[in-house]
Chain A
């Protein structure tokens, strides 16, 4: 039985204009899960429930072995949280924040903090209100990382960062995983980042989890088949066709459960297979959402 850092079972939360329904999540210790969804899909709500900042209406949430939100104080001792809408205290300096955090968490690693200051190019004496958006995000990440928490929960950690800063942050996140007892959960609209560093990927749309699997399984299962259909030939019937694009003579099939035998099946049906393309995570996500909204997917 794998050790789970985070477990959601049937979590539901109802708001006047939005409902998070029946969310199930399993995050094994030592892995990193990327949480992908459009704006308003429920990423932030899910993360807030994870942190115990919002109380779910139904369902169980367990984080690092603690029930949330009732045991949130104990859980948060080992969780580092950075969210895009989170602000630090403007009139205070970064050094003040570092000292404040250090006084609360005994696991603060001062040497690592100095290292991060250098790598993130931040000046401790600078007041938070004088920092740019990117610098503020890096400052908040520093405060979370230097404590070496067992679980990192990040809501859009690379949004708004310049490419160099993004690279730095991704590097630091991966360095966290060098310790197989530490886990990361992050939401992102940047599918490239998610595709690169995630072990597991979960898609959310309109308050529902629409897919969750190992990254390699996602990338293996989805394919685009480019066919040439001779006249008077019908499209072969294949399971898991999510979208049909292209033209009637040159159809492009998007398949969610690809099997190499399908290529032979197409050829037997009279179509010639021009190409079997793999898809990027972004393409998979978009097709997944579009087809669900149109009610097509199996």
Chain B
């Protein structure tokens, strides 16, 4: 794996999509600010989180667009004429987009946790749920990334984004009903249960599985351009 050339490719994607990235970060921060000032009523909070989640996923899809665009804008032959293997290309795409998203995501997650801890309106028991749901957003975004890089199709990426968004809501509502979560969610202390641990581990496993599958599919391709 030629790290320097993968780094160059990632830099290229960041440079070409810099407007998109900066815009996404600003939007995310604005949304965070809006939720932080929602003054504690539970329903607005849940709505705010859903809105935040949707926006995050939307941003994720936009970030993944760099993969679809190479094919759409016919720049793929140019990129593949560089001294890289298709594996290095895939790594640069996934690493580049997911890294930015991850930084953004982490910032927002930490922002939410800090908001919950420092403001008097939110019960601290929310924190495990917030962490699990945030990682769920990460899962959805990894799914979009995997689909985007393997299909290189805008149609599929948009489709998966919409399905992912809906699935996220469904998953959120199911998790909130789980005994290990429901019981401590409105408590004033952070209570990390074994249910939470299992859920978290499952989510990471799914992420690993999806990325692994993406790499596998890419390695089987016989027509790279």
Binding site for B on A (CB under 8 A): 48, 51-55, 57, 69, 72-74, 76-77, 79, 81, 83, 85-92, 96, 100, 103-105, 140
A168 to B78 alpha-carbon distance, docked (Å): 23
What are 13 A-B contacts with C-beta separation under 8 Å?
A53-B81, A54-B222, A54-B224, A55-B223, A55-B224, A69-B224, A73-B2, A73-B88, A77-B83, A85-B74, A86-B74, A87-B75, A88-B78
Residue of A nearest to B78 (CB): A86
* B73 with A90: CB separation less than 8 A: yes
Question: In the bound complex, how far is the Cα of B81 from the Cα of A73, in angstroms?
Answer: 9
Contact flag A53-B85 (CB < 8 Å), given A73-B2, A92-B16: no
From B16, B73, B81, B225, name the one whose CB has the most chain A CB atoms within 10 angstroms. Answer: B81
**Contact assessment for B77 and A83 in the assembled complex, using a CB-CB cutoff below 8 Å:** yes
Query: Chain B 126-139, CB within 8 Å of chain A: the 1/0 string?
Result: 00000000000000
The answer to the question of B82 belonging to the interface, with a C-beta cut-off of 8 Å to chain A, is: yes
The interface residues of chain A lying within 8 Å CB-to-CB of B75 are: 86-89
| Complex interface: chain B residues within 8 A of A81 (CB) | 77, 81
Q: Which of A51, A57, A92, A100 is within 8 Å of B81, CB to CB? A: A51
**Chain A residues whose CB sits within 8 angstroms of the CB of B225 once the complex forms:** 48, 53-54
Q: Does B100 make an interface contact (CB < 8 A)?
A: no
Q: A53-B77, A83-B77 are in contact. Are A73 and B12 (CB under 8 A)?
A: no
Task: Contact check, B84 vs A54: say whether CB atoms are below 8 A apart.
Answer: no
Q: Report whether over half of chain B's contact residues are helix, strand or loop; otherwise say mixed.
A: loop
Chain B contacts for A53, CB-based, 8 A: 77, 80-81, 223-225
Q: Other than the known A81-B77, A96-B15, what 13 A-B pairs have Cβ atoms closer than 8 Å?
A: A53-B223, A53-B225, A54-B224, A55-B222, A74-B83, A76-B84, A87-B78, A89-B16, A89-B75, A89-B78, A100-B12, A103-B8, A140-B78
What is the CB-to-nearest-CB distance from B4 to chain A, in angstroms, rounded to a whole number? 9
Q: Which residues of B contact A105 (CB under 8 A)?
A: 83
Q: How far is the CB of A237 from chain B (nearest CB, A)?
A: 49
Bound complex: CA A87 to CA B85 (Å): 20
On whether the beta carbons of A86 and B8 are closer than 8 Å, the reply is no
Tell whether, in the assembled complex, residue B85 and residue A73 are in contact, meaning their CB atoms are under 8 Å apart: yes
Which B residues are within 8 Å of any A CB, using their own CB? 2, 5, 8, 12, 15-16, 73-75, 77-78, 80-85, 88, 222-225
Cα of A89 to Cα of B16 in the assembled complex, Å: 8
Q: Among A88, A92, A104, A140, which residue has its beta carbon within 8 angstroms of that of B5?
A: A104
Residue of A nearest to B2 (CB): A73
Closest A-B pairs by Cβ, 5 of them = A81-B81, A55-B222, A53-B225, A86-B77, A77-B83
Task: Give the residue name and chain of the B residue nearest to A69 (CB).
Answer: B224
Please, which residues of chain B bring their CB within 8 A of the CB of A103? Answer: 8
Determine if A91 and B16 form an interchain contact, defined as CB atoms under 8 angstroms apart. yes
- In the assembled complex, the Cα of A69 lies from the Cα of B225 at a distance in Å of 12
The distance from the CB of A248 to the nearest CB of chain B, in whole angstroms, is 52
Task: Kindly state the separation between the CA atoms of A106 and B82 in the bound complex, as whole angstroms.
Answer: 13
CA distance A48 to B73 in the complex (A): 18
Bound state CA distance, A96 and B11, in angstroms? 12
Tell me which of B15, B16, B82, B88 contacts A104 (CB under 8 A).
Answer: B82
Given known pairs A48-B225, A89-B16, A100-B12, the reply for A73 and B83 (CB within 8 Å) is yes
**A54 contacts across to B, CB distance below 8 A:** 222-225
Q: Report how far A87 CA is from B223 CA in the complex, Å.
A: 18
